[in-house]
Chain A
Amino acid sequence: ELKVEQNPLFLSMQEGKNYTIYCNYSTTSDRLYWYRQDPGKSLESLFVLLSNGAVKQEGRLMASLDTKARLSTLHITAAVHDLSATYFCAVDGTQGGSEKLVFGKGTKLTVNP
């Protein structure tokens, strides 16, 4: 059974600092997704990583995937308050051809002035 673990679960950081969120998963998969959720809102897609070594960047966020280590990272550069949200990684635990995403518990990021 696929398990997805994120750490840390809570992250409080100052504006301007850098930090990395980690997403480990337990079984082989070559598809990993990152989502953002603002309080009380739905999820918004950030990145889709489809192969080993994939790296995607958008603004101050950069995501990477190492399928051999079963690890993805979401790196935050020079954080700003607007990045405060909960970030989820999700891994494709496909069974029988139907894509089935398993989500981590999320990392709640708070960026303080």
Chain B
Amino acid sequence: DGGITQSPKYLFRKEGQNVTLSCEQNLNHDAMYWYRQDPGQGLRLIYYSQIVNDFQKGDIAEGYSVSREKKESFPLTVTSAQKNPTAFYLCASSTTRGSPLHFGNGTRLTVT
């Protein structure tokens, strides 16, 4: 079955460490997105990519970095510069404009 796989489901890190969240899709979608969700909040866009080797900052890109070396993969690195990294991170993909986003199951990151 086609879909988006995020791993791991839960991730614990110490403050000051960088951590990379994995996102892989086999839907053959061109566009991929990373969102952050905090309790009681909507989703906020971190980064998005329309094609391989190209990506754009979203609304809250500071403290995060991404790469898009392959169409199916869009990993997100949460750096030590991110002041409040504890959150639920969702990866999504889409085909054409006007098509809904397909979401992965998310990674819950806890930094202490």
Contact = CB atoms under 8 A, between A and B. Distances in A.
**For the side of the interface on B, what is the size category?**
20 to 34
B63 interface: no
A76 interface: no
B42 A105 contact: yes
A101 B104 CA distance: 16
B100 interface: yes
Interface string B16-47: 00000000000000010101000011111100
**For the side of the interface on A, what is the size category?**
20 to 34
A105 to B, nearest CB: 4
Interface stretch (A12-20, A38-46, A63-71): A38-46
A48 B99 contact: yes
Given A43-B90, A43-B103, A100 B97 contact: no
Per DSSP, chain A at the interface is strand
Contacts of B94: 99
B82 interface: no
A21 B100 CA distance: 20
Interface in B94-112: 94, 97-106
Nearest to A88: B42
Interface in A2-42: 4, 9, 31, 33, 35, 41-42
Contacts of A45: 100-102
17 contacts: A42-B103, A42-B105, A43-B90, A43-B92, A43-B103, A44-B103, A48-B100, A90-B43, A98-B31, A98-B50, A99-B94, A99-B97, A100-B45, A101-B33, A101-B45, A103-B43, A106-B40
Given A31-B97, A103-B35, A103-B43, 20 more contacts: A4-B42, A9-B40, A41-B106, A42-B90, A42-B103, A43-B43, A43-B103, A45-B102, A98-B48, A98-B56, A99-B97, A100-B48, A101-B33, A101-B101, A102-B45, A103-B42, A103-B44, A106-B40, A106-B41, A106-B42
